[in-house]
Structure formats: C-alpha cells, structure tokens
Amino acid sequence: MRYEVVLPAAGSGKRMGAGQNKLFLPLAGKPILVHTLLVFEQDENCTGIWLAVKDEERASIQTLLEQYQITKVKGLPTGGLERQHSVHSCIKEMTAVEVVLVHDAARPFITTPTITKLAQVAFEKGAAIAGVRAKDTMKIVKEGLIKETVDRESLWMIQTPQAFRFDLIVEAQDVAEKVGFLGTDEAMLVERLGHEIHIVESDYENVKMTTKEDLIFGEAILNHRKV
C-alpha cells in the first residue's frame, strides 16, 4: 500500500537538554533525523516525505538531505509551536493521497513490516496506530496515594506511526483547528469525529529519543541489529 509520511521536526528537545534540536544529535555516527528518514527513503511503498521544520533550521536540514541522498522529501513547511500545528502545516500542502502516516522524527527504529501493516489497515479501515502492550503494573495515583490498580490486559502504550486515509485526517485536522481543540496525537483528533481507531502491534524497540538515557538505548538497539 502506497503512502506519504509526515515527520514533525520543529521541536526544541528540552527534555534532552542538548541545547539544540535533538534530531541533529548523533546516533552511531548519523543524526537521529537521518536514521528516521532512511527508513522511509528505503521503503518502496513510501512515495513522499514531508518535514515540518523551523525556518532557521531549514538550510541545515536541506544539507543533510543532500549529504545522505534523501530524495523523497516533497516539502519542508514551517512547523508550529505544537506538534498538531506542525502536522497540519504539512497536510495543508499535500495533494490527495490514499494514506498518510504521521511519525515522530525522533523515533528512528520503526520497522518496514509495521509500516506496511499500518498503511494497509488504514486503507481498509480508515485509521490505525502503532502500539505495544503495557508490561508493567499500572496504578491510578492521586495526591501520593494509590487509588486503583488498572487491569493492564487492556492497556497499550501508543507509538507512531499513526496512519489515516487522507480525507479522514484532513477532516480531523480542520475540525480541530476550527474549534481550537489541541490533542495529544492525531488519533485523538480522529476519535473526536467518532471514527474507530485500529491498533497494530509494533515492538518495544520502536522507542522515541527523548532523554539522554534514550541515546544509550538507541546505540544498544543499533548494535543489536548488527548482530
């Protein structure tokens, strides 16, 4: 199933404490962003990549695209203060495609089989998101006291990509903008329309590079994949 992917890349990476956009930080000799881009560059089903960027970082990203021969990028629109705004800036510039994926640019270990499954389910059902089953015991805590233990059998930790039929994500983004609603992810916007979201099981290696400790995990994942 053919698709195009949106990568919000205009974040500040404050939790990483790097003093710069974390996507430029090296991971096994390549910027985090490049690792992510190469996954989609090498996937024959990906027909286009859209990067929402900061104006002051556009030239640096263009240089990386040329250096690593990333050819599928169709646009580098200006990102917003929130992820939702960055995604919407890309959606507004896209022409109609069958399926759109939205993926964290700082999540470089997504695998092609998971992407393929997501795109297919989104095409058939309208919306699908990646996730893994919760492994730890979950408890509701209020004011430092445990109030309830939650049955983890029904809990999933949500990742990206999140995949949607083009017309559905366009409607969800437009409605959210019109009413001033800010969601935590794209699936939340689609849920507000009353549309069902299907889960596609991913894997625990599909981690997001958020803190300095994540870089250690990232190096370990890359070393493991070389074996």
**pLDDT, position 18:** 64
The per-residue pLDDT string of the chain (227 residues; one tens digit each, 9 = 90 and over) reads 999 999 999 976 666 656 678 999 999 999 999 999 999 999 999 999 999 999 999 999 999 999 999 999 999 999 998 999 999 999 999 998 999 999 999 999 999 999 999 999 999 999 999 999 999 999 999 999 999 999 999 999 999 999 999 999 999 999 999 999 999 999 999 999 999 999 999 999 999 999 889 999 999 999 888 86
Whether 41 and 74 have beta carbons less than 8 Å apart is answered as no
DSSP state at residue 79 = P
**pLDDT, position 25:** 93
Whether 163 and 119 have beta carbons less than 8 Å apart is answered as yes
Tokens 């959606």 identify what position?
Answer: 91
Chain segment 211-227, per-residue pLDDT in tens: 889 999 999 999 888 86
The pTM of this model reads 0.94
Query: What are the helix (H) ranges across 68-165?
Result: 83-93, 112-125
**65 three-state secondary structure:** helix
The structure tokens listed for 56 are: 């002051």
Whether 189 and 133 have beta carbons less than 8 Å apart is answered as no
